[in-house]
Amino acid sequence: MHITVIGTGYVGLVVGAGMAHSGHDVICADIDEDKIERLKRGEIPIYEPGLEPLVEENLEQGRLSFTTDVPGAVRASDVLFIAVGTPPDEDGSADLQHVIAVAETIGRSMNDDKIVITKSTVPVGTAARVREAIEANTQHTVHVCSNPEFLKEGDAVDDFMKPDRVVLGVDSEEAATVLRDLYAPFVRTGNDILLMDIASAELTKYAANAMLATRISFINAIARVCEAAGADVDMVRRGVGSDGRIGPSFLFPGVGYGGSCFPKDVKALIRTSRDLGIDPTILQAVEDTNQEQKALILRRVIDRFGEDLGGRTFAVWGLAFKPNTDDMREAPSLVTIEGLLERGARIVAHDPAAMEEAHRILGDRIELRDVNYDALPGASALLIHTEWHPYRRPDFERIGTSLSKKVIIDGRNLYSPDRMHELGFEYHSVGRRPVGIPHSETIAG
């Protein structure tokens, strides 16, 4: 089958490379000339494990190509995926200008009947707008379908190649037949292809991400109760997660969620609910809880060292919003860093993947180190934001001798409080009692 994917961002690249790997001829089209030239050389503009070799292999085999000629790519294919960005607008709604612009280009470029699939995360009713934009510019028949993506950053290739489920919102049996055939190689182990109406498919993605975000905000709210009550959130989490009706997934306390999906999708679903006359009380609470949680490490630093942080250095381990990605969109680390800089602190940071992205966002306002231990010398505390594997079993003796004060503020609960106490650290985590607090020091000691 001849397929065009319009948009070479995170979703578009994974979809294009994955479809090519299953034997289809795939064109990935984008108007960004620099990005396309890099992709033609096999250079991947994002950090995603497994994606680079997948692109390289299919480029070499001739199944995958890249172009800036979007109209030509439309004419060359039978099935078209729209995979452009839908950033949040000022009111929280999804900005659909790029999706509609692509739809208009498709309409003007069509030379025969096409199946057009919205892969971008879009609110209910977008497919109807896409169809209207296409049909206003062509006399050919178009089948507009919704096929939301469920790709986790850091695991996107596996998620695409071995999906839990494939959700297809279709407008005709003809489109259903083509899409079932398209995805058949990816569900050979028996996972579901779920056919449904387009509106339900569009809403499924938002509902899924909102549910996961809700679990994260819920356990973070419980963590606050644990701290106030003297309980241990790890014990509570295990007790709750062992209930078969609930399960343990996404019940890990921390400094909140970030990235390109959860924050944007929760905001968009809040806006959609209000537009439909529905009070989004639960969703708004999820969003508000997360915003407060993202400031947790900053509050802990201020509580421990005071508002005036001039002359102090803080080491930051982890800048990306989660491991196995360089994505810093909505990352909790940014809340901490901006707050510390405002109070006069010096920041020295490390991340296994997000150093270039951190420099792009923060410039020379913070110092970056290629080795995580090199961020420690002279720092008043180590602040942990991302649960990268190299941070999970570090050399604590080296940490203790490098820091000016043996203080760790851990936003991901990587270490045992008992072990930290044995090693002589002052250790603050999430939803657990702090250990090693020096009674002889003032709050700004």
| Cα–Cα distance measured from residue 368 to residue 359, given in angstroms and rounded to the nearest whole number | 8
What stretches of 97-158 adopt beta strand conformation (E)? Answer: 114-118, 142-146
Active site residue 28: no
Q: With CA atoms as reference, report the closest residue to 274 among 284, 288, 264.
A: 284
Task: Name residue 404's amino acid.
Answer: S
Q: With CA atoms as reference, report the closest residue to 300 among 124, 146, 431, 131.
A: 431
Q: Is 342 exposed, middle or buried (0-12, 13-18, 19+ CB in 10 A)?
A: exposed
Which of the residues 28, 145, 226, 261 is marked catalytic? 261
| Cα–Cα distance measured from residue 403 to residue 424, given in angstroms and rounded to the nearest whole number | 13
Question: For the chain, how many helices (H) and strands (E)?
Answer: 17, 14
Task: Name residue 77's amino acid.
Answer: S
- Residues 100-116 as b/e (b if ≥16 CB within 10 A, e otherwise) read bebbebbbebbeeebbb
Furthest CA-CA distance within the chain: 80
Q: With CA atoms as reference, report the closest residue to 350 among 301, 378, 385, 324.
A: 385
Q: Where are the alpha helices (DSSP H) in 386-440?
A: 396-402, 417-422
Q: What residues act catalytically?
A: 261
